[in-house]
Every structure is written in structure tokens, then in C-alpha cells.
Structure 1
Amino acid sequence: MNVCVIGTGYVGLVTGVCFSSLGHNVVCVDHDLNKINSLRNGVVPIYEPGLKELMTKSTKAKKLVFTNDLEEGMNEATILLIAVGTPANKDGSANLTYIKQVALEIGQYIKPGMTIVTKSTVPVGTNKKIKQWVSFSSGHQQFSIASCPEFLREGNAIKDTLEMERAVFGVEDAQAELALRALHKPIRPTIVVTTIETAETAKYAANAFLATKISFINEVANVCENVGADVEALAQVMGLDHRIGTSFLQAGVGYGGSCFPKDTQAFIRIAEEANYSLQIVPAVERVNHEQRYRLLTKLKKCYHTLAGKRIAILGLAFKPHTDDMRAAPALDIIQTLLNEQSSAIAYDPIASEQAKRLLPDVILASSWQEAVRKADAVLILTDWNEFKTIDLEELKVLMRDSVVIDGRNVFNPEEMKQRGFYYDSIGRTQVDGRASKQKARPPSFTVQTGTH
């Protein structure tokens, strides 16, 4: 198929690259000429494992091209995929400014028989608006409209596209369904054909449910700390029930990123506009917000004041295998540390470039060793594999005080105690091995004399 993808953000670029790798002829369009020139030169603006290699392969095969000219991009296309941003307004609702701009511009160049598919996450009713905007701008040309939400996980987006488990086709006519089936034919996912309104709601409902699992296990973890239970073992027990499953049952400092925070807020607003007040989703948001500050409460147990303390932050991205720091727990935690007159030095294997822009007052280290050197405490905020293999003896030698607050349960509490650390994690028993380690001495021997 000849495909035009409008928008080269995370969703648009991954979608365009993956579908071109399947043999479709894809043109990716973006009004940002600097971005287009960078993409033409092989520069990928986001970190996603495997994306650069796949993009290079498709461009060399002439299956993927980039342009800032929408008319050029639409010239031979039979299907258009809208993948522009829908940032949150101040009230949490989705901002449709870019969607409207694109729809009006599409109308100028649309040809009879084209299918317009929305990949962007949009509120219920948006596709009807898109149809009105395109129709008005085109002089009432004949075209089809559809909603096909993406379910990508950052860090796994290539696999989630090329091996997608399900595809949701929200359509209003056979033409749109046939176009979407042809687009997805090389992948062969389970296909659900439904109404546009159902498809629009599906992404919000799915993300709200996954966010609920995260906040739920974090609440369970907080109870575990008070009763002496272990949330890791408990989550395993829960996850073995196939009705629950193990996914998203990892206790920690809460979720972040571009989807869950934005989509839960937008879902609340969608419900309000439909005259229904959600009860669970606002609670999920509240738990998630409070969870990140529990790490600071744990840290304050160790020190009368955080003023003047040197705190090392390991991990800035909201999760591993991405450089995305949008709504990352690290942002709120670091800002609070700075407000309390601590000095923060941070290290992330991938997200340092993002951090330079978002955290100008924070020292960025080039290695975990540099970050922890002479640190009073270490906070672990992202469970990168690199951190799971840290040499604990080296860590202890480099630090000023052996305090580790682990927001991702990277280490084993008993081992940390044996190594002489004060160690507090999420949903597990806090341990302090500093005193016993300091008191430990080589065994002494005494010679007793006496008569036999």
C-alpha cells in the first residue's frame, strides 16, 4: 500500500518505520523541516531499541521517505495515518489544536476514495470532528474515516507493532475496514472491528486499567511495609492467578511517561463531559502522585535535615529502555531535594540529553560511579540493567554514607544488610547493616592457663 503518516513524533515515526519494513511504501510528513532533514540524514530524535537500524534499512530500500510537504506526502497515498500530538490542557483534557490543523490541511489535497485513520489518542467524538473539518476544507469530497489506536510500550514499540496482539478498527464503512485490513495483513493480529466511538474509548480504558494495576500494587506494597510482608513474593502469588497476571505488578515509585498520566487525566474529563464522575481513576492518580514522595519520607528517616546532603540519583527516565522523562518520578523527587537545599547529582545511561533541558540545576554524571562518589545517599529511580549489576563493594567504598533508598527494588535487602548498607525499598523490610559491619572485627583468641 501507499501510506502517508502525518507526524514524526514517537507514534508516527515508529508506525511509519515499521509499516515500511513490512513492504508498504510510506511517506512520513512533518512541518518541522529541521526534523525532516535530520531524519533524512539518519538521525533518530528518540531512543527506541532497534528503531534506527530499521529506519536505515527502509530508507535504503526506498520504502520510507520523509518530507515537510503534505501535498507531496498525500500524492500517491490511499491511506492517511494521523499521528500528531494531543498534549494535555491545564484541566487535563486533550488539546486538539494539531488535529484540527492537520484535518483542515488534509482537506486541501484529499482525493476521492482516501481513508483517513487516526492513530493519535483522542477523546470520543474527535473523529466526527475530523470528518467535518476535512469535508469543509475539501468541498465535501468523498472519503472514509477510521480510528485505529496504538498500544505501544516505549522500549518495546518495534515488537508491539510488528508482532501486535490485537488491532482495533473503529470504522463507519466497508472501505475503511478493507484499507485497515490491507495495512495490517503482513502482521496478522487479532482484529476487533467496532464503532469509532468504541475505538476512541479503548485506548483510554486500557491505559487507565494498567495504571490502576500499578497504583494498586503500590498501595499493597505500602501495607506490606507495615505488616512485615514482602510485596515481591506477594505479587508473584497474585500474578500466578491467570485472571490477574504478572504484568504491571512491579511495586515502585509510580508510573510516568507520555501516556498514563495524560490519558488518565483525559479519561476523567471525557467522563465528566458525558455526565459521569469516575471514582477509581482519580484515586489511581492520587496514589501515583503520593507514591513518589514516599522515597523522600524514607530518606528523611536517616537524616534530621536534607540541607547540605549530597544525593545521588540513579535513573531519570520514567522506565528503562527509553530516554523519555515526561512526567517521570525523578522530576518531582529531584525538585523537592533542591527545594530542601540538597545537592543532586544524577546519572542515566540514556536520558542525559533530555535531563540537560529539564533539570538545568542538576549535575549530570557520566557514570554511576561518578554519581555516587562522596554521596550521603543514593536514590534508585529507574531499574536499568546496569544498576542491577552494580558492584556493591565499589558502591560502598565510593559513598560517604552507606544509605540506599531503592524505588525499583533492584537489590536484595538481606544482601544489602550483609554488605553494610542502610537499605530501604518498596514493600519490603527496611534493613540497616551499618552498625554490625562497623563493629565486625577479626576473631580474637585468648590463651587460658590453669592447672590440670
Structure 2
Amino acid sequence: MSILIIGTGYVGVTTALVFAELGFEVTGLDADERKVQTLSEGKLTFYEPGLQDLLDKHLAAGRIRFTSEAKQAIRQNSILFLCVGTPSDENGSADLRYIRAVAEQIGQSMDDYKVIVIKSTVPIHTNERLTAWIAEAQPHPIPFDVVSNPEFLREGSALQDALHPDRIIIGSRNQAAGLHIESLYEKLNAPCFLTTPTTAEMIKYASNSFLATKISFANELARLCEQLDINVGDVSIGMGYDHRIGPHFLKAGIGYGGSCFPKDIKALLHIAKKQHTRLSILEQVHEVNETQAEHFLQLWERKIGGFAGKRIAILGLSFKPNTDDLREAPSLAVIHYLTSQRAQVRVHDPVAKLPASLQSAGVRQLEHLEDAVAGCDAAILCSEWDVYRNADWEQLRDEFKQLNIFDGRNVLDRQRLTELGYTYSGIGNAARN
């Protein structure tokens, strides 16, 4: 059985390599010829642990290939997975221009029955719209089915999530088509839930929204804990023992980011608005996340007598460790705030690269951690890479001008840092500062 993956970004490449690992013949299709060439040469276009080894393995075995020849690829494969981007529009809605363009391409190119699978995160009723777009583009009627199969991959652990999923959601109006897609995952030990396309689409948005709600709940709680001299980390641990709540996604920080939560919450809020329904809890989730970084930056700013003229080190650019993704990364909001306060900013990240727009603003990225903190009045940890957890803070102490650590992820050893002479401040743990 041959599978075509349309779109070779983060989700597309991960999906393609996992299916190759499961024993299928896989083709990755992308209009970007440079990306196709890079992948064909065995080079990933993004950072994700474990995927490089799979790419090397399956290119060598001939189980995966990449192409920009759409018509031929569509005709040669019986199952087509759509993994193209659905970025946020200006009003928060999901932009479906790439989905529609692919639908028209499929309709114009297909010459026999296909199962088209939507892996991209899309608004409710996109399955129906895609079906109509394909049918309208066909020169003459050819049968096909459209199935919704949303992804639940966490950046930084995508391979683990894909090979050991919590669940597989399949939405289809045709039970046979749904069962056909279910059979692709039969080697994985995971429950499979067959439902309607609209339900599958909603499950994706609802899942991300609920996880974001837990994060924003912990973040807002951290603001109160800061005032009451309570450690929000201890509060989260105590709550997490309740199996109805659980410990996951209750960790306070300077906000969530990435390609999923911010975009999906805005999209769901837009959908609700169009239906004249207010999701007030989700509105507050978004509001807390938008203001979390600035709230604590203002607290930290008072601790060092203002950021103006100070040299500040940013530790971690990516929105989370083990990825180079900067989409909606809290670090960017932190950098913008610091530069607006006329601070000198130095940046370090093991993988992610500083955007050119910020380089022109006078922000410098340094390759080595000791160079990034050299002469700094404070360091702000924005992403919990192990390189910061395990850093030799005793040796780094000599590099600082002033020993201020602002831990935006509550992951550093405050007791050890305090013993070394640092002034430590975290998120919602003023009692320990």
C-alpha cells in the first residue's frame, strides 16, 4: 500500500517517516523544490529528536522519497494525507488557502478512487468543504472519500507521540473508508475512535484548548501565589495527585507558545463568534497567556531598578526544549519588551536561531552560554533546555555583572543558586525569592 503525504513541514515529515517505519511505501509531496531537494539529500528542515535517524534509514531503504511533481504523485498513490499549514488569519480564523489549493490539485489530477485524509488542524466542517472543492475541480466525476484524522503531536517528542499515541481519532461519513484508514495504524497499541468528521475536527480543537486552559489556570494562579508568598509549584504538585486533575500541563511559566495552542484557540474563538456563542473561559485563557510574560517582567524589572541600560541574557529562544520552533514563543515577547525598555539583549539557544528582524534591533545571539551571560545584569530563562538545568552555575557566576536569575519556567535549583550568591526569582514563588 502506498501513501502520499502532501506538505513536508513538521507534521508532514513526521507522519511520512512514521508510516515508513510501519512498513509502507511513502512519498512526500511539496511545491517547494528547495525543501524537496533538501529532504531528498537526507537533511531535515527543522529540528526534532529522533527523526534524522529515521530519515537516513528509510531513504537508504528506498521506503520514502520526496517530489514536487504533484500530478504524478497523486495518481500513483491510493491514500493521500493532507499535512499543509492552516495559519491564523488576521481575525484569528484558520486560513484554508493551502487546503483549498491542494483540494483543487487533487480534483484535477486524480484518475481513480482515492481516500483523502485531513491530518492538518482545520475548522469544523472543513471535511465537507474539502469534499466540495475536490468534486468541483474534477474534469469528470471520480469517486473518492474524505476522512478526518487529526494529529496530536507534541514538538520535541513527536516521534514518541506518533509511535505510541494516546488515541487515534478517525472521522468519516463512509465506514469502509474510516476502517481502511484505521488499518494503517494496526501495528500501534492505541485505542481507535471512529466518529463523524465534524466530531473529529472538534476533538482536536477541544483537546488543545483544554490543555491550554490548564496552563493558563496555573499561570493565573501563579500571580496570586506571588502576592500571598505561596509557591505555585507546590500547589500544582498537591493538585496533581488528584487523578481527576493530574500533574500534566499544570506547571506555571511565562506562557505557552508553538504552532498549536495559540493558533487553535484563536480559531475556536472565531468559530464560536460566528455561531454567536461566547466561550468566556477560553477568552480568559487567551488573555492570561497574552499578558503573562509582561506581568512577571514588570515584577522583575522592579527588582533590578529598571531594564534601561542593563544587559540581559535570554536563555532559550524556542517555545519549548527539543525543538527549534519560534512560533508564538514567549521569548520573543520578552525580547520585544526588553528592547522597548532600552535594555541590551544577549541570546542563547542550543538549536533555534534568532530571527533577522530582531538582529537588526540590536539583539545578539551567542553560540556559547558563558558568552551570552558575560557582563549581564540578569539572565531570563525562557525555555527549559537541559543545558540550562545542568549548567555549571558556579563557574558562570564569574561571568555575570550582577547575579540575577529570573526563571520563567521554574526549573532551576533555587536553593543551589541562592547558595552560590545569585538572587533568584521565579514564577509565583515569591516566598522562596
Query: What letter is aligned with 1:118?
Result: I
Contact 1:144–1:175 (CA<8 Å) still a contact in 2? no
Is 1:420 aligned to 2:394, yes or no? no
**Distance in 1 between residues matched to 2:74 and 2:264, nearest whole Å:** 30
Aligned residue for 2:190?
A: 189
Matches within 5 A, 1:229-308: 229-308=230-309
Gaps of at least 5 residues in structure 1 are 433-452
Shift of the alpha carbon at 1:395?
2.4
Matches within 5 A, 1:316-395: 316-352=317-353, 354-356=354-356, 359-361=359-361, 362-395=363-396
Shift of the alpha carbon at 1:359?
4.4
TM-score after normalising by structure 2: 0.97
Aligned residue for 2:32?
A: 32
Is 1:136 aligned to 2:136, yes or no? yes
**Distance in 1 between residues matched to 2:110 and 2:413, nearest whole Å:** 59
State the secondary structure of the residue aligned to 2:314. strand
Change (3 A) 1:357 1:176: farther
Shift of the alpha carbon at 1:411?
2.1
**Distance in 1 between residues matched to 2:358 and 2:86, nearest whole Å:** 20
Is 1:67 aligned to 2:99, yes or no? no
Is 1:124 aligned to 2:124, yes or no? yes
**Distance in 1 between residues matched to 2:322 and 2:356, nearest whole Å:** 19
**Distance in 2 between residues matched to 1:267 and 1:308, nearest whole Å:** 41
Shift of the alpha carbon at 1:358?
5.3
State the secondary structure of the residue aligned to 2:387. helix
Contact 2:231–2:432 (CA<8 Å) still a contact in 1? no
**Distance in 2 between residues matched to 1:222 and 1:96, nearest whole Å:** 37
Shift of the alpha carbon at 1:410?
2.2
Q: Deviations over 1:80-99 (max 9, x none)?
A: 10010111100000001001
Contact 2:2–2:25 (CA<8 Å) still a contact in 1? yes
Contact 1:320–1:384 (CA<8 Å) still a contact in 2? yes
Contact 1:100–1:133 (CA<8 Å) still a contact in 2? yes
Contact 1:4–1:27 (CA<8 Å) still a contact in 2? yes
Shift of the alpha carbon at 1:357?
5.8
Contact 2:231–2:431 (CA<8 Å) still a contact in 1? no
Query: What letter is aligned with 2:207?
Result: A
State the secondary structure of the residue aligned to 1:213. helix
**Distance in 1 between residues matched to 2:411 and 2:370, nearest whole Å:** 17
**Distance in 2 between residues matched to 1:319 and 1:62, nearest whole Å:** 33
Contact 2:86–2:96 (CA<8 Å) still a contact in 1? yes
Query: What letter is aligned with 1:349?
Result: P
**Distance in 1 between residues matched to 2:97 and 2:153, nearest whole Å:** 23
Query: What letter is aligned with 1:184?
Result: Y
Shift of the alpha carbon at 1:211?
0.3
**Distance in 2 between residues matched to 1:77 and 1:411, nearest whole Å:** 50
RMSD across aligned C-alpha pairs, in angstroms?
1.4
Q: Deviations over 1:385-411 (max 9, x none)?
A: 110112222222110011111101122
Aligned residue for 2:108?
A: 108
Change (3 A) 1:418 1:252: same
Structure of greater relative contact order (alpha carbons < 8 Å, 6+ residues apart) = 2
Aligned residue for 1:155?
A: 156
Is 1:20 aligned to 2:20, yes or no? yes
**Distance in 2 between residues matched to 1:124 and 1:72, nearest whole Å:** 31
**Comparing 29-38 and 412-421, the one that deviates more:** 412-421
Shift of the alpha carbon at 1:286?
0.5
State the secondary structure of the residue aligned to 1:292. helix
Change (3 A) 1:156 1:267: same
Q: Deviations over 1:410-445 (max 9, x none)?
A: 22333332221211101212666xxxxxxxxxxxxx
Gaps of at least 5 residues in structure 2 are none
**Distance in 2 between residues matched to 1:384 and 1:427, nearest whole Å:** 20
**Comparing 40-49 and 138-147, the one that deviates more:** 138-147
**Distance in 2 between residues matched to 1:101 and 1:257, nearest whole Å:** 25
Is 1:50 aligned to 2:55, yes or no? no
State the secondary structure of the residue aligned to 2:84. coil
State the secondary structure of the residue aligned to 1:301. helix
**Comparing 232-241 and 32-41, the one that deviates more:** 232-241
Aligned residue for 1:311?
A: 312
Change (3 A) 1:369 1:316: same
Shift of the alpha carbon at 1:33?
0.5
Q: Deviations over 1:288-317 (max 9, x none)?
A: 111111231122112333221100111110
Q: Which structure: larger Rg?
A: 1
Query: What letter is aligned with 1:222?
Result: R
Shift of the alpha carbon at 1:59?
1.2
State the secondary structure of the residue aligned to 1:416. helix
Q: Deviations over 1:239-269 (max 9, x none)?
A: 1111111111111111000100000000001
State the secondary structure of the residue aligned to 2:335. helix
**Distance in 2 between residues matched to 1:430 and 1:292, nearest whole Å:** 20
TM-score after normalising by structure 1: 0.93
**Distance in 2 between residues matched to 1:251 and 1:240, nearest whole Å:** 16
Change (3 A) 1:46 1:358: farther
Aligned residue for 1:444?
A: none
Shift of the alpha carbon at 1:337?
0.8
Shift of the alpha carbon at 1:209?
0.3
**Distance in 2 between residues matched to 1:121 and 1:248, nearest whole Å:** 21
State the secondary structure of the residue aligned to 2:406. strand
